Amino acid sequence: MEKLFVGTLLLSVLAGVMTQADMTGKVFIFPQESATAHVSLMPLVRKPLHNFTLCLKAFTDHICPYSLFSYSTPSRDNGLLLFVNKMGEYILTIGNLDVTFKAPVTPYIPVHVCVSWESASGIAEFWVNGKPCGRKGLRKGYSVGAQAKIILGQEQDSFGGRFEAKQSFVGEIWEVLLWDHVLPLTEMCEWCYSGNILNWQALSNEESSYVVTKPKLWV
């Protein structure tokens, strides 16, 4: 056990860059369009997701399509993807199948996006800025694979790679949270920082290429 621990420690030291940080009050800034800049996130627990709730906040003034959250698995590059196709049009992908949700367009202010999904019914519930945008069904009975590469800033077209500058995110992202269960989104609150899969207060992350961490501008 101790050997395993030392081994794990050594591995993380050798890899060198994955750090755990309390990101409270901070954001990741993706300052330029690129096919390289991204942040890899390490889940606190690796388990297949039969249910989940994903929340994040983002600001961008880019209109082109971009990825907000890209979770790929070895068998599905889009295991769980949150993608903005155009202003106000969000695509949720689970196991490479898509549903679209439309939200009122509020340009030049941050968006707070929350989505939950339960395997038993396949129902995904989508909220933007504290308002429901409806429910749709996909992938009933499915579970999202546990072996994940979770990336902010880029969209993965293969497991951990094949980024395209045209789908990169330019702007800032913060308070990215993932739970392994469905939360009542009516009760989504400002202080809900501690997802049990991704926790903004204890975020294992690795920044690659041009990504900058700064205090947040918006509350």
Ligand X SMILES: *[C@@H]1O[C@H](CO)[C@@H](O)[C@H](O)[C@H]1NC(C)=O
Q: Does 98 bind ligand X (CB under 6 A)?
A: no
Given strand 26-30, what is the order of strands in its sheet? 131-137, 123-128, 111-118, 51-59, 171-179, 26-30, 212-215
CB 144 to ligand X: min, Å: 11
Residue 173 exposed, middle or buried by CB count within 10 Å (0-12, 13-18, 19+): buried
**How many binding residues for ligand X (CB under 6 A)?**
6
CB 180 to ligand X: min, Å: 6
Q: Does 50 bind ligand X (CB under 6 A)?
A: yes
Q: Does 118 bind ligand X (CB under 6 A)?
A: yes
CB 119 to ligand X: min, Å: 6
Restricting to residues 119-148, name those near ligand X by CB under 6 A.
120
Q: Could you say which of 12, 36, 51, 196 contacts ligand X (CB under 6 A)?
A: 51
- Smaller CB separation from ligand X, 51 or 129: 51
Q: How many residues does the chain have?
A: 219
- The owner of tokens 């030392």 is 6
- The owner of tokens 């800033």 is 153
- Smaller CB separation from ligand X, 63 or 120: 120
- Smaller CB separation from ligand X, 29 or 177: 177
- Smaller CB separation from ligand X, 23 or 182: 182
- Which x/- pattern, by CB under 6 A, does the window 163-202 give for ligand X? ------------------xx--------------------
* Positions in the binding site for ligand X (CB under 6 A): 50-51, 118, 120, 181-182
